[in-house]
Amino acid sequence: MPRAYLVVSYHSISDLKTLAAYGTLTATATAFFAGRFLARGDAVATHERGLAERLTIVEFPSVEKAITFRESRIHQEALRALGDDVVHHVRIVEGLE
């Protein structure tokens, strides 16, 4: 079964404390669903029409685990804590075998 990757791009962050609190809340849920952070931070270089945005990539054992994490109660609570302070987009993609 191929791994899955949850990719989050942050388009605007108006309160870094809110984002930090979100990160703390999601770390527990990520570990519970066997997720592993591969990258987290601001872009160090952009090319073509790339955006210099904060990006997070989390690896999960399967698409099902990634989706279950995303829909979990603890993650939904963390999302509510973001309020309007953070605008982000989330994608789940299947890895290559």
What's at 32, amino acid-wise? F
Contact (CB, 8 A) for 74 and 30: no
Token match 């290559």: residue?
Answer: 96
What CATH number does the domain located at 4-94 have? 3.30.70.100
Give the residue-averaged pLDDT of 67-92.
Answer: 92
Per-domain boundaries in the chain:
4-94
d(CA 52, CA 21): 22
The yes-or-no verdict on residue 70 having pLDDT over 90 is yes
- Report pTM: 0.89
Tens-digit pLDDT profile for residues 7-24: 999 999 999 999 998 888
Give the residue-averaged pLDDT of 23-32.
Answer: 90
